[in-house]
């Protein structure tokens, strides 16, 4: 199937499971989505310019290159999908809509009502959480039965149904469903794992780990986070409570009210998104004599015959280190364009490292026979990713070797990777490179 010619700007904060739907669909279709790096949740989406395009001020939101403005994560994912993801034939298409609606109506509210208190971003109300657990159980039981003899939800391949349902289950699998809680749903878990391990999904959500232990409510964390949610939460939480009839006894099938849920959940997700910008560990290290910006400028403007010697005359081994990385799961790499997305995805998620890091990561080989490896240079002597939780999404997929700047072999490796030449250690030819600068 030809790659989609859809291009557009997807406004979102990082790690938004709703935005993941579109980003994964785009991996399948070849649609080209750009996520603006300077998007600040609660600021960018409240500017008059944004509200003119997207009056609800919510994300994800897509601005297409053809000038369409699309909101609602399912609609955006649909827009960037190809025909296979949308389903072939009326019956499959209807079933896909059924699953997308099921995810939104039966899973999402219950998942959020269970997960958010445990993340400390919503008050813990035992009744609400117990009701949510029952709703999750009911939804998973239904899903498990459906998946008894199926690999994917509709037909024989991944469709929008899998993308939307799996992403709506993401937090449950990440924070709640420890092994004992998932054993009743073996088919859902098998399907979820199969889906999460598709290269198109890994390119967007790498290193996903299922919960080993259900998160526990931590009142201290909750109290701390209240500051971030400000008065908004207080106000919204109170309104529905006041509306509750005081003495009315619940009917047998009455569920505890989660009346404030959608509003508070927006606030809760906002709080999640607005987690404090962690201070940059590089700021606490001596700057040394190596001027990273200057080198990057030189590297961009000159050819490698000049920029590599320049690097060595300027490099400051006391305050900077050089590392070699190799992607550990090369045997799972298929299409080379997907592998390149893995590299650029990692770069995107490491934006805050740019001020004191540089890298050249290369893909060697061809479709279904390739490896990824590269050279990184950063301020400090330790493995930088371990210094900041924000930088830890991708690095464990690579092995890391610190190189001795004085060793001639390091000079060879730097020359090879900075100039995009040579072969990998098994003799595969250089295919493509990407620079982190
Ligand atoms: N149903 C919408 C929900 C979008 C939504 O609620 N987004 C939240 C963040 S995850 C938001 O942008 N809230 C901002 C606000 O309410 O001002 C979708 O699936 O896209």
What is the DSSP track for 289-306? Answer: S--HHHHHHHHHHS-HHH
In the DSSP assignment, the letter for residue 429 is B
Residue 56 CA to ligand 1 centre (angstroms):
9
Residue 265 CA to ligand 1 centre (angstroms):
9
- What does CATH list as the number for 292-436? 3.30.70.1010
Who has greater pLDDT, 207 or 95? 95
Contact 356, 245 (CB under 8 A): no
For ligand 1, say whether the CB of 21 is within 6 Å of any of its atoms: no
For ligand 1, say whether the CB of 58 is within 6 Å of any of its atoms: yes
pLDDT score recorded for residue 247: 35
pTM over 0.85: no
- Ligand 1: nearest atom to the Cα of 270: 9
Most confident range (mean pLDDT) of 250-254, 270-274, 339-343 is: 339-343
- Report the pLDDT averaged over residues 205-215: 93
Residue 116 CA to ligand 1 centre (angstroms):
15
Who has greater pLDDT, 113 or 256? 113
| pLDDT-derived band at 219, boundaries 50, 70, 90 | confident
Residue 59 CA to ligand 1 centre (angstroms):
5
- Report the pLDDT averaged over residues 87-106: 97
- Ligand 1: nearest atom to the Cα of 76: 20
* Cis geometry, peptide bond prior to residue 60 (ω within 30 degrees of 0): yes
- Ligand 1: nearest atom to the Cα of 73: 20
- Report the pLDDT averaged over residues 137-164: 97
- Ligand 1: nearest atom to the Cα of 71: 20
pLDDT score recorded for residue 341: 85
Which DSSP string do the residues of 93-133 spell out, in sequence order?
Answer: HHHHHHHHHHIIIIIHHHHHHHHHHHHTSS---HHHHHHHH
Share of the chain above pLDDT 70, in %: 87
Is the pLDDT at 102 greater than 80? The verdict is yes
| pLDDT-derived band at 3, boundaries 50, 70, 90 | low
- Ligand 1: nearest atom to the Cα of 57: 17
Q: What ranges in 184-335 are assigned the alpha helix state H?
A: 186-196, 199-202, 219-243, 261-273, 292-301, 304-314
Is the pLDDT at 307 greater than 50? The verdict is yes
| pLDDT-derived band at 225, boundaries 50, 70, 90 | low
| pLDDT-derived band at 248, boundaries 50, 70, 90 | very low
Residue 234 CA to ligand 1 centre (angstroms):
19
Q: Whose CA is nearest to atom 13 of ligand 1?
A: 58
For ligand 1, say whether the CB of 41 is within 6 Å of any of its atoms: no
- What does CATH list as the number for 89-203? 1.20.1050.10
Residue 146 CA to ligand 1 centre (angstroms):
29
Contact 359, 436 (CB under 8 A): yes
Is the pLDDT at 94 greater than 60? The verdict is yes
111, exposed or middle or buried, with CB in 10 Å at 0-12, 13-18, 19+?
Answer: buried
pLDDT score recorded for residue 243: 38
Which range (48-62, 188-202, 284-298, 329-343) has the least confidence? Answer: 329-343
For ligand 1, say whether the CB of 59 is within 6 Å of any of its atoms: yes
For ligand 1, say whether the CB of 369 is within 6 Å of any of its atoms: no
- 7-83: CATH class: alpha beta
pLDDT single digits (tens) 395-425: 989 999 999 999 999 999 999 999 999 999 9
Question: What ranges do the domains of the chain cover?
Answer: 7-83, 89-203, 292-436
Rg (CA), the chain: 24
Q: Whose CA is nearest to atom 3 of ligand 1?
A: 72
- Ligand 1: nearest atom to the Cα of 60: 20
| pLDDT-derived band at 6, boundaries 50, 70, 90 | confident
- Residue 243 token pair: 């509306």
pLDDT score recorded for residue 256: 32
pLDDT single digits (tens) 340-382: 888 988 998 898 899 899 999 999 999 999 999 999 999 999 9
Which range (131-140, 174-183, 269-278) has the least confidence? Answer: 269-278
pLDDT score recorded for residue 418: 96
Is the pLDDT at 264 greater than 70? The verdict is no
- Ligand 1: nearest atom to the Cα of 59: 12
Is the pLDDT at 16 greater than 70? The verdict is yes
Who has greater pLDDT, 283 or 109? 109
For ligand 1, say whether the CB of 349 is within 6 Å of any of its atoms: no
């Amino acid at each position: 199937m030809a790659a989609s010619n859809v291009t557009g700007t997807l406004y979102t904060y990082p790690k938004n499971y709703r935005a993941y739907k579109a980003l994964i669909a785009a991996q399948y279709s070849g649609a080209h989505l750009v996520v603006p790096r300077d998007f600040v949740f609660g600021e960018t989406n409240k500017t008059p310019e944004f509200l003119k395009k997207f009056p609800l001020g919510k994300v994800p939101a897509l601005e297409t290159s053809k000038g369409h403005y699309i909101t609602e994560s399912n609609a955006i994912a649909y827009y960037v999908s190809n025909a296979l993801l949308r389903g072939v034939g009326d019956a499959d298409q209807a079933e896909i809509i059924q699953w997308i609606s099921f995810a939104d109506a039966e899973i999402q509210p219950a998942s959020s009502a269970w997960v958010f208190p445990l993340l400390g971003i919503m008050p813990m109300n035992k009744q609400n959480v117990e009701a949510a657990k029952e709703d999750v159980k009911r939804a998973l039981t239904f899903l498990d039965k459906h998946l008894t003899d199926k690999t994917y939800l509709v037909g024989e391949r991944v469709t929008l149904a899998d993308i939307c349902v799996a992403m709506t289950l993401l937090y449950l699998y990440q924070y709640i469903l420890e092994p004992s809680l998932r054993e009743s749903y073996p088919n859902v878990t098998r399907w979820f794992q199969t889906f999460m391990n598709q290269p198109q999904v890994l390119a967007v959500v790498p290193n996903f780990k299922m919960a080993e232990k259900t998160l526990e409510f931590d009142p201290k964390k909750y109290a701390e986070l209240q500051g971030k949610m400000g008065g908004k939460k207080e106000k919204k939480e109170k309104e529905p409570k006041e509306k509750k009839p005081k003495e009315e006894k619940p009917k047998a099938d009455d569920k505890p009210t989660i009346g404030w849920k959608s509003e508070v959940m927006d606030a809760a997700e906002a709080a999640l998104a607005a987690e404090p910008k962690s201070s940059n560990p590089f700021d606490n290290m001596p700057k040394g004599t190596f001027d990273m910006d200057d080198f990057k400028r030189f590297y961009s403007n000159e050819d490698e015959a000049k920029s590599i010697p320049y690097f060595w005359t300027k490099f400051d081994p006391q305050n900077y280190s050089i590392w070699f990385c190799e992607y550990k799961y090369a045997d799972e790499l298929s299409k080379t364009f997907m592998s390149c997305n893995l590299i650029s995805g990692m770069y995107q998620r490491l934006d805050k490292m740019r001020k004191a890091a540089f890298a050249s990561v290369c893909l060697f080989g061809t479709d279904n026979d390739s490896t990824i490896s590269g050279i990184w240079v950063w301020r400090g002597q330790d493995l930088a990713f371990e210094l900041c939780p924000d930088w830890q999404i991708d690095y464990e997929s690579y092995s890391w070797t610190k190189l001795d700047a004085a060793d001639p072999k390091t000079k060879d490796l730097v020359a090879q990777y900075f100039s995009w030449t040579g072969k990998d250690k098994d003799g595969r030819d250089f295919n493509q490179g990407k620079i982190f600068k």
